[in-house]
Structure 1
């Protein structure tokens, strides 16, 4: 987070009003957070997140060049290909789950997508010290937070979006995923 904040400060040539949220208790050494991130910190949130006010979406980056961005992106892809770099397995699983979150995601379908058996997928996830349900729950939590924060969805709408039968079940699931109630996460 501090690297992204520093990069944005360099690119915009001014300090941006970032807010930071962490999914853990406030640490005893809070001074380090203040030094590197500033004072707009919130702890005990559902996910780790940093955000800017929405008007920054439409604010052009000083000195930005679409041509240079395209060339840089192409060069980065070429470098990754030449170095045989791949994204991590967990990131691939997370992206698949996020893209298919509105479908009835099953372990078997996910394994099939990655061209492996369900048992192999389970073993690979276990090597990463996780399991399929944990990854699915994390994807649902990230989707719910995104829908709350970015799109202003209500609890009922998110419940429908995630294909959870009713809002009571969604509220229970959200509490299990994040450790917080829906109301606490919205505040």
Structure 2
């Protein structure tokens, strides 16, 4: 089994080429190619040749029409990086995301559209986001008395691809929200961890809300008033049927689903450093059952916890805006010395060295 130290060390020393290249999750072909479909559709609409983007990836553009096709993060990353290089367009992720519709999400889009309220539709979309071909993980968080947040969590520490992934996810989420509620829908704030891009005006024109760059997390904030907004297309029977089919589509099965659930909870409660009993309770499972299901997936809770923290620490170190002590606090270490020792155990190097390598 790949160790956290090996995976995180690889990400730090070779981020530009293949982050976490030794991690089995990096090459597991389990993601629907929806993002690549929209990316190539955009290229074709603009008259851009894109067949070369797939060279050596193990994919061809024609294969994207196969509804059974699943791609790995490595394959998707290869195509997206080449698209970014070929077009030279900084806002390519935003252009891709904003062209997506409920129909783009297939059965998941149908389940969202037939939900009772916008809040229900958000919950459905977030719970089953992997069915839509997402290359990141997402969570739904309470951010304040009148604010909730759709938060994005990178699956790998991959700074060159992060702006594209954030733009695509948040851009498509806003496009879907406006389809469900209407063009008058506005988020209250968009926060991303990377620096302000040259095409910032595109963000302002599309999101029409406060923009925060160099933030501590990647998330879009919503006023809670939107959650109770009823959807005119609500159909309880169709919603139930579509959800059942969505769950059947997920190739990872129940065992991998519990791993994803554990990762999601660890990311959203990172400062609290939850232990296995805490996570089991949040999943409404016994500690024994959770330990057994993780073992069936070939995983150990401590290794998952260490990897999630290492990946988040690397992301913040590469962002360059927080001190080492502040990063330690973000992932649950009150003592900077404990964080430095843990980070060196995970990656084989101290935090400052990892930041210098990323510069």
Please name the residue that 1:101 is paired with. Answer: 270
1:47-78 C-alpha deviation (Å, 9 max, x unpaired): x9x6979x83586416953xx42332363354
1:56 aligns to what SS in structure 2?
Answer: coil
Unmatched tracts of structure 2, length 5 or more: 1-25, 28-32, 50-54, 58-73, 112-241
Q: Which among 342, 345, 358 is matched to residue 176 of structure 1?
A: 345
Structure-1 separation of matches of 2:274 and 2:294? 16
Structure-2 separation of matches of 1:111 and 1:63? 35
Structure-1 separation of matches of 2:42 and 2:302? 41
User: Contact conserved, 1:97 with 1:139, CA < 8 A, in 2?
Assistant: yes
Please name the residue that 1:56 is paired with. Answer: 90
Q: Is residue 2:101 matched to residue 1:69?
A: yes
Q: Is residue 2:244 matched to residue 1:81?
A: yes
Structure 1 residues 12 and 164, CA gap change in structure 2 (3 angstroms): same
Q: Which has the higher strand share?
A: 2
Please name the residue that 1:10 is paired with. Answer: 40
User: Contact conserved, 2:266 with 2:274, CA < 8 A, in 1?
Assistant: yes
Structure-1 separation of matches of 2:97 and 2:263? 34
User: Contact conserved, 1:11 with 1:61, CA < 8 A, in 2?
Assistant: no
User: Contact conserved, 2:263 with 2:304, CA < 8 A, in 1?
Assistant: yes
Give TM-score, length-normalised by structure 1.
0.63
Give TM-score, length-normalised by structure 2.
0.36
Structure-1 separation of matches of 2:34 and 2:317? 23
Structure 1 residues 129 and 62, CA gap change in structure 2 (3 angstroms): closer
Higher mean Cα deviation, 68-77 or 93-102?
A: 68-77
Structure-2 separation of matches of 1:135 and 1:56? 33
Q: Is residue 2:295 matched to residue 1:126?
A: yes
| CA-atom RMSD in angstroms | 3.8
Higher mean Cα deviation, 163-172 or 137-146?
A: 163-172
Q: CA deviation at 1:113?
A: 1.2
User: Contact conserved, 1:94 with 1:139, CA < 8 A, in 2?
Assistant: yes
Q: Which among 278, 283, 298 is matched to residue 114 of structure 1?
A: 283
1:9-56 C-alpha deviation (Å, 9 max, x unpaired): 6255369xxxxxxxxxxxxxxxxxx954xxxxxxxxxxx9x6979x83
Please name the residue that 1:138 is paired with. Answer: 307
Q: CA deviation at 1:159?
A: 0.9
Please name the residue that 1:26 is paired with. Answer: none
Structure-2 separation of matches of 1:12 and 1:72? 14
Please name the residue that 2:324 is paired with. Answer: 155
Structure 1 residues 62 and 89, CA gap change in structure 2 (3 angstroms): closer
